[in-house]
Every structure is written in C-alpha cells, then in structure tokens.
Amino acid sequence: MANPIIAPSILAAEFTRLGEEVKAVANADWIHVDIMDGHFVPNLSFGPDITRAVDEVTDQVLDVHLMIENPGRWIEAYAKAGADCIIFHVEAVDSVAGAIQLARDIRALGVRAGFSIKPATPVEQWLDLLEECDLALVMSVEPGFGGQKFMPEMVEKVRTLRAEIDRRGLHTVIEIDGGISAETIRVAAEAGCDAFVAGSAVFKHSEPAAKAAAVEELRRLATV
C-alpha cells in the first residue's frame, strides 16, 4: 500500500484527557471510534455524545465501528455526531439484503458505509456488499476489548477481499482491526490491506510525542 491509512483507536486512550489524546495523534489519518453496547459484545464503551466531543477537537476522519445490536436504529445519531464512516457488523443484521439496505441507508445520510466481520464469520457470503460499501473491516481479534493478540489466520480474509475488489475494479477500502502493532502490521499490509486500526500500540505510550512516533512507525511498516 503506497499510502496506508493509520487509524488509532481511542478505546485505548486515557479517557480523562480524551481531547489531548486525540490531538497527540494529529499525524494519523483517521480516528477509530469503538462503540460497544454490552449486548453485541460483552463490554460497554461510549456513544454519540463522546463521538461528538471527539469530532469537535479534530478534523480527522471519524471511523465509527458499531459493535452493537440493531445498528440501523443508531446510524442517524452517529451521522449527526460527526461520523465520516459508519461500520456495522454483518452478524448484527439478518441477511445480505438487510445489510445492503443498511449500507444504502448509511450512504443516504451522506456518510461512508462499512461492514465488519468477526473472526468466526467467513467473508465469502458477504462479498455482494463490496459494491454497496466504501469499506470492509476484518476483525483480527474477537471484538469487545483492546489489547488482545492478533489472529494471523485472519490475513487470509484480507487476501480474499483484495482479490475480489481488484477483480471487480472497485475502490472499497480494506481495514483490519485488533492486535495491530509494529510486529503484526506488515503481514496485513502485504496481503493488501489499506487501513490499520491500532489502539494499545499507539496509546500505551505516555508521552504525546511517542504516540505520534508510533503512528509514523506503523505507517512506515505498512508501506509495502
């Protein structure tokens, strides 16, 4: 990837200083916002109000990852909160037709649409979404928590998506999320990934300059 997209996940940020944390990674391309409802995943994070607060301190693209049940009910609230891309989980919709409709509803709000697949979900049955979405997010950990170990076997899904997107002449962005670090990012980049979420690998550093340096290092390693 010539210009990899680096998307720090604020799930790993220090919440009492969220504004400063976002500003520390001003050199990143996107800001990844993990929304968890305690039902679709066994954890809670934040909602539209915190998303809006983040939007107010940055012009970066807000990449909003909905790990929630009934995502269609919430897309308008996140669009109003400043989301630039809204990603839903295919496991939270009942059919390909339902997912296509949801993607269209997201785009109708003037927001990019993305779909995400959990580790146990094969990508093959969802490939019809590629024409309907701007982004496909491959989970390389079980969603719900930051700081987990990268699942290298998920890179095969990136290869499948890359081949299919190229074959169809599409521009759908492939993003990977979970356990991305200086040790793991390159294999995903070599498989054809465009965008890389990194939580702990960026925000584990306490000095702001070290967070920015971690973003630069990830970008360098993902340039293949």
> For binding to ligand DX5 (CB under 6 A), which residues are involved?
9, 11-12, 32, 34, 65, 141, 143-148, 177-180, 197-201
By the 8 A CB rule, do 52 and 34 touch? no
Instruction: Answer yes or no: is 114 a known binding residue.
Output: no
Give the whole-angstrom CA distance, residue 209 versus residue 70.
Answer: 39
Question: What does the alpha-carbon distance between residue 192 and residue 195 come to, in Å, rounded to a whole number?
Answer: 10
Q: Which does 121 bind (CB under 5 to 8 A by kind): Zn ion, ligand DX5, none?
A: none
Q: Tell me the backbone φ, ψ of residue 196, rounded to 5 degrees.
A: -135, 120
* Among residues 55, 105, 132, 177, the one that binds Zn ion under rule CB under 5 A: 177
Determine if 219 is a binding residue for Zn ion (CB under 5 A).
Answer: no
Nearest CB to Zn ion, comparing residues 102 and 131:
102
Does 177 qualify as catalytic in the annotation? yes
Verify binding: residue 63, Zn ion, rule CB under 5 A: no
Q: Whose structure tokens read 């340039």?
A: 223
CB neighbour class for 151 (10 Å; exposed up to 12, middle 13-18, buried from 19):
middle
Rounded distance between C-alpha atoms, residue 125 and residue 95, angstroms = 10
Alpha-carbon distance of 182 to 167, in angstroms, equals 30
Spatial CA neighbour of 214 closest among 199, 224, 201: 201
* Rounded least distance, CB 108 to ligand DX5, Å: 25
- Contact between 34 and Zn ion by CB under 5 A: the answer reads yes
Which range touches Zn ion (CB under 5 A), out of 48-56, 65-73, 77-85, 183-191?
65-73
Decide whether 128 or 183 has the Cβ nearer to ligand DX5.
Answer: 183
Nearer of residues 34 and 37 to ligand DX5, judged by Cβ: 34
Q: Which candidate in 37, 63, 105, 177 is catalytic? A: 177
CA distance 175 to 5: 9
In DSSP terms, 30 is beta-bridged to 61
The set of catalytic residues is 34, 177
Under the rule (CB under 5 A), what is the footprint of Zn ion?
A: 34, 65, 177
Q: Known binding site for a divalent metal cation: residues?
A: 32, 34, 65, 177
Residue ranges for the known binding site for substrate are: 9, 65, 144-147, 177-179, 199-200
